[in-house]
Amino acid sequence: SQKIEQNSEALNIQEGKTATLTCNYTNYSPAYLQWYRQDPGRGPVFLLLIRENEKEKRKERLKVTFDTTLKQSLFHITASQPADSATYLCALDMMDSSYKLIFGSGTRLLVRP
Amino acid sequence: SAVISQKPSRDICQRGTSLTIQCQVDSQVTMMFWYRQQPGQSLTLIATANQGSEATYESGFVIDKFPISRPNLTFSTLTVSNMSPEDSSIYLCSVELNYPPYNEQFFGPGTRLTVL
């Protein structure tokens, strides 16, 4: 069955450093992959979408890579700030043209001032 | 983008009772989704509620337990029926817009349900 893995341990980094989060998947060939941010007590907020034919996508301080051979996406936040502290979820389409998403369990990022 | 509100924001209920959660969107959308997020876990899709058709449920979720209504393009309800403590969770609705950008989902703030 389809499986998405994100590091369950919190990532704790110093302000100004680059945070790198990983999303791995198996038994799967998604057409696209998305990253969302979720703050406590709130719903997820969309950040970036990358398609299977794209290697990299950037938005301000955010960068996402998508390696369909390794079945992995990396999510980078450069020049991290304490305000970037949140849980980051990756999500993949269900490959059945239904627009449904499967979410990973998320990685909590803590940026120390 | 879309702005989504949910009611109630939280509730504490007794086992055996039912709770109806409302989801209101500020624009007309065809595709709406209901998710459950248990403490410390990721989102699990309960069902897809597209206007004009019956809701389609994911494996492990049934209509008798989670009946859904979708009377128009801006509103939906999810009922959690005959609740047990295992139903304690955050319930979220989301939508995908009828116009670009496609594939992104916009989420409501969630309804935190505690069943005693």
Q: Mark yes or no for CB contact B103/A41 under 8 Å.
A: no
The residue type at A109: L
Quick check: B59 contacting A, CB < 8 Å? no
How many Å apart are CA A59 and CA A49, to the nearest integer? 10
**Chain A partners within 8 Å of B107 (Cβ):** 43-45
Quick check: B14 contacting A, CB < 8 Å? no
pLDDT digits (tens, 9 = 90+) for B10-53: 999 999 999 999 999 999 998 899 999 998 888 999 999 988 88
Sign of CA dihedral A81, A84, A85, A88: negative
Question: What distance lies between CA B6 and its chain's CA centroid?
Answer: 9
**Chain B partners within 8 Å of A105 (Cβ):** 41-42
pLDDT digits (tens, 9 = 90+) for A87-107: 999 999 876 666 788 999 999
How many Å apart are CA A99 and CA B56, to the nearest integer? 13
How many Å apart are CA A89 and CA A91, to the nearest integer? 7
CB atoms within 10 A of CB B63: 14
Mutate to test the interface with B, among A59, A103, A105, A108 (most CBs of B within 10 A): A103
How many Å apart are CA B45 and CA A16, to the nearest integer? 36
CB atoms within 10 A of CB B112: 17
| A89 in Cβ contact with A6 (< 8 Å) | yes
By CB atoms closer than 10 A (0-12, 13-18, 19+), residue B42 is: buried
**DSSP assignment letter at A10:** P
**Helix residue ranges per DSSP H, B1-116:** none
pLDDT digits (tens, 9 = 90+) for A20-78: 999 999 888 888 899 999 999 899 999 999 998 998 999 999 999 999 999 999 999 99
**Chain B partners within 8 Å of A100 (Cβ):** 33, 45, 48
